[in-house]
Amino acid sequence: MTVSDTSHHQDDTTQTTTTRSGQLSEDEWKQRLSPAEYQVLRQAATERPFTGEYWDDFSEGIYRCRACGAELFRSDQKFDAHCGWPSFFAPLAEDRVEYRKDTSLGMTRIEVLCAQCQSHLGHVFEGEGFNTPTDLRYCMNSISLEKVPRSDR
């Protein structure tokens, strides 16, 4: 896990982001996403615990970035961390996510972003003692993800 030491919490509508569909400005993201999606995916907000659609969904499927559609996590990497957000012990592949040091809220955390569109997904925590293969908890916002059920793939 390589962590960038730069913060991305900005409200610059002139910034562009590359996605599979090309370059999008922050104004274009605002048009593409709902206000709640924009707040979390592009401004790094956090949805309230136990409110998102996937925190307690353990059915089979692939979780994609809601902003650009990149495949990020599999349901067999998901576990119940009793925290109110979807939790995974690893991404689908390391090149699917990027990591950035986050010093907001008076603490240091590792932010997880979609590698394809740099949208905020959540944070990753290490050493919490969960019985998982990696000892990592990728604590993701449900609103940052879109699940494709196994039967739809």
* Active-site residue flag, 117: no
Residues 6 or more apart whose CB falls under 8 angstroms from that of 29 comprise: 17, 38, 41, 42, 67
Residues 6 or more apart whose CB falls under 8 angstroms from that of 37 comprise: 66, 67, 143, 144
Contact present, 121 and 140 (Cβ < 8 Å): yes
Contact present, 151 and 108 (Cβ < 8 Å): no
What residues act catalytically? 139
